Structure 1
Amino acid sequence: MLLAIDVGNTNVVFALIDGRAILGRWRIATDPRRTADEYAVWLLQLLQFQGYSPAQVTRVIVSTVVPRALHNIQVLSNKYFHHDAWIAGNAPVEWDMRIDIEQPRSLGADRAVNAIAAHARFGGDLVVVDFGTATTFDVIDADGTYKGGIIAPGINLSLEALVNAAARLPRIAIEPPRNNGSVIGRNTEDAMHIGVFWGYVAMMEGLIARMRTEIGRPVTVVATGGLAVLFHDHTTIFDHVETDLTIEGLALLAERVKD
């Protein structure tokens, strides 16, 4: 079995995969100071709860956008699973796709993995929207070439900045406004919900419309990340929602490595 690990700025996601089937997935807050032993105490128990053992893990692959967290993940793989972790983007799991931007080395691993997975799944011209700490919009052409994209503040990050900068604004949950679709708030919380939620929807719809115009060909829009499902119910811009796109991309990269 494959243990796929996606280290994001907010969470680290662990997924146990057999072939293409995801048998279990678990997440923990990202903390570069977390040791391999701390990961193991948490992860090994979760594996056991679902009836799996470390001995069943035969390969480990890691995608990370937090370089400081990588060492302890590598120690975890060696010490508790007895395998060297493959690092996505490095031998033997290179991207194997053309990256047509000014600084190819600057492309985040999560964005590259998403691009590979989306191209393998859907083909054609694509825009991949990933709801993470940042919200990213990535363009992949029909040949599988990564062409560039957009990085915008994530909705939670935007809300946190708003609350921290304005002393009298309350903390609110990320959810659709509860005012029958009106965009005129009658109280502070409603006004914040409208600004954060519908403002974010308008930003996504506007950016994707501009991207479609610039690409000039039919485009499939794929959404991933924790909040993708929430927004999918309130806009028509997404053709597909694939919450496990990054994990699927890691599994695909691992499949390409010959025994």
Structure 2
Amino acid sequence: MLLVLDIGNTNIVSALYNDEKKVVVTWRLQTDRHKTKDEYRILMLEALEGHSIAPDVIDGVIISSVVPPMNPLFTALFQEHWGIHPIIVQKGIKTGINLRIDDPKGLGADRIVNAVASYHLYGGPIITVDLGTATTLCAIDSRGSFLGGVICPGIGISVEALVEQASKLPRFDIARPAQAIGKTTRTSMQAGVYYGYRGLVDRLVKRFKAEMGEEGTRAKVVATGGFAQLIGQDCSEVDYIHPSLTLEGLRILYERNCKQEVNRDRCDDL
């Protein structure tokens, strides 16, 4: 089975794919830069055991990470304990996406993976909206060229900053309120987050489409990330919601780089 890992600033999301390209199971671990390789190994084994899956069914691993210090840790973990050299999404792998930006080296792995998945699944032109730790939007044209995008503070980060910096404001559940005009402090905060991010997504997508010119009029929009369902379902500009878009992108990248017999030797060099 193929194990894919999306290492974010908040969580490490993992999924196992079978030979039919179907997800068998997913789980989350907290991202903690202070944990050791052995601690993560134990957590991985516990997650597998909790789903009644034998560790030796894993025969391939691909990792997307926005936390660079975690890359050598997980590489060593899988090499030493599984005998597998994982693919890390970085320079040198085959993506099928042309990066038409000024600083390709600075582009986050998660944004590359989302671009690969959205273009593969829906075709271009396509705009991805990732509502995760950060809120990012990226534009891909009809030829599969990554044009660029925006990065905004994520919903969780914004809420934490608001509560921590304003001592009289309470913590609250992030949810869809009945109306934008809140009648209590709590519902006012919920409305600010929910309707504010809805407006942010729709306004930025419209701006993207305008800057993309004729292709913008045909661009589809896919939302992903932890808050995709909550925010994306009511955004007028969002066409698709795909919560596991990043995981699918990792699966696709693995197939492009290692599944074919001709590519297996180069996997050890990535």
Quote the residue 1:127 is aligned against.
Answer: 127
| 1:44-193 superposed matches below 5 A | 44-91=45-92, 93-177=93-177, 180-181=178-179, 183-193=180-190
Q: Secondary structure at the match of 1:67?
A: coil
Give the deviation of 1:41 after TM superposition. 1.4
Are 1:16 and 2:16 counterparts?
yes
Maintained 8 Å contact 2:37/2:77:
yes
SS in structure 1 at match of 2:99: coil
Q: In 2, Cα distance between the equivalents of 1:194 and 1:128?
A: 24
Structure 1, residues 91-128: CA drift from partner, whole Å, max 9, x if none?
A: 4x333421000111111000001100111101121100
Deviation at 1:205, TM superposition (A): 1.1
Structure 2 distance, partners of 1:221, 1:201, is 14
Q: With structure 1 as the length reference, what TM-score do the two structures score?
A: 0.94
Structure 1 position 206 matched with structure 2 position 203: yes
User: CA–CA distance in 2 between the matches of 1:43 and 1:24?
Assistant: 13
Distance 2:85 2:54 in 1: 18
CA-to-aligned-CA distance 1:237-256 (integer Å, 9 cap, x gap): 21111111111111111111
2:268 maps to which residue? none
% identical equivalent positions: 39
Aligned amino acid, residue 206 of structure 2:
A
State the secondary structure of the residue aligned to 2:15: strand
2:196 match: secondary structure = helix
Q: Which residue of 1 aligns with 2:226?
A: 226
Q: What is the distance in 1 between the residues matched to 2:35 and 2:174?
A: 28
Structure 2 distance, partners of 1:73, 1:125, is: 34
- Contact 1:6–1:14, Cα closer than 8 Å, also in 2: yes
Could you list the runs of 5+ residues in structure 1 that have no partner in the other structure? none
Q: Is the 8 A contact 1:11 1:28 kept in 2?
A: yes
Which residue of structure 2 lines up, in the alignment, with residue 245 of structure 1? Answer: 245
- In the aligned structure 2, how far is the partner of 1:80 from the partner of 1:25? 21
1-structure distance, mates of 2:230, 2:84 = 37
Size of the aligned set, in residue pairs, is 255
- The answer to which of 129-138 and 50-59 deviates more is 50-59
What corresponds to 2:267 in structure 1?
Answer: none
- Name 1:27's counterpart in structure 2: 28
1:3, 1:65 → 2: CA distance? 18
The alignment's TM-score, normalised by the length of structure 2, stands at 0.90
